[in-house]
Copies of this chain bind each other. A is one copy, B any other.
Amino acid sequence: MTLNVGVIGVGMIGQDHIRRLTDVLSGARVAAVTDVDLDRARTVADDLPGATLHPSGQDLIAAPGVDAVLVTSWGPTHEEYVLACIAAGKQVFCEKPLATTREACQRIVDAEVAAGRRLVMVGFMRRYDARYRAMKEAVTSGDIGAPLLMHASHRNPSVPSFFTSDMIINDSAVHDIDVARWMFDDEIAAVTVLKPRVSSKAAAGFDDPLVVLLEMTSGVLVDVEASVNAAYGYDIRGEVVCEDGTVELSESAGAIVKRAGHFSGRVPADWRERFARAFDTEFQAWIDAVTAGTTTGPSAWDGYAATVVCDAGLAALSSGQRIPVVLGERPDLYKEI
Contact = CB atoms under 8 A, between A and B. Distances in A.
A135 B255 contact: yes
A167 interface: no
Contacts of A254: 130-131, 133-135, 249-250
A243 to B, nearest CB: 5
A25 interface: yes
Contact of A221 (B130, B131, B138, B197): B197
B144 A259 contact: yes
Interface in A263-291: 263-267, 269, 277, 284, 288
Contacts of A102: none
A221 B231 CA distance: 19
Chain B CB within 10 Å, residue with most, of A195, A198, A250, A251: A250
Nearest to A22: B26
A94 to B, nearest CB: 23
Interface in A22-48: 22-27
Given A194-B213, A196-B221, A241-B209, A262 B258 contact: no
A49 interface: yes
A73 B134 CA distance: 35
Contacts of A24: 25-26, 284
Interface string A186-223: 00000000111111110000000101010010111101
A298 interface: no
Nearest to A20: B26
Contacts of A246: 232, 235, 257-259
A254 B133 CA distance: 8
Contact of A265 (B232, B244, B263): B263
A149 interface: yes
B257 A261 contact: no
Nearest to A200: B243
Q: How large is the interface on A (under 10, 10 to 19, 20 to 34, 35 or more residues)?
A: 35 or more
Contacts of A65: none
Contacts of A262: 232-233, 264-267
A147 interface: yes
A131 B255 contact: yes
Interface of A: 1, 22-27, 49, 130-131, 133-135, 137-138, 143-149, 151, 153, 194-201, 209, 211, 213, 216, 218-221, 223, 225, 227, 229-233, 235, 241, 243-251, 253-267, 269, 277, 284, 288
Rank and list the top 7 A-B pairs by shortest CB-CB distance, nearest first. Answer: A197-B219, A245-B259, A134-B254, A264-B264, A196-B221, A134-B255, A131-B254
24 contacts: A1-B49, A23-B288, A26-B26, A130-B254, A131-B254, A134-B254, A144-B257, A145-B231, A146-B200, A148-B198, A151-B151, A153-B241, A197-B220, A198-B219, A201-B243, A229-B243, A231-B245, A232-B245, A233-B262, A244-B259, A249-B256, A250-B255, A251-B263, A261-B266
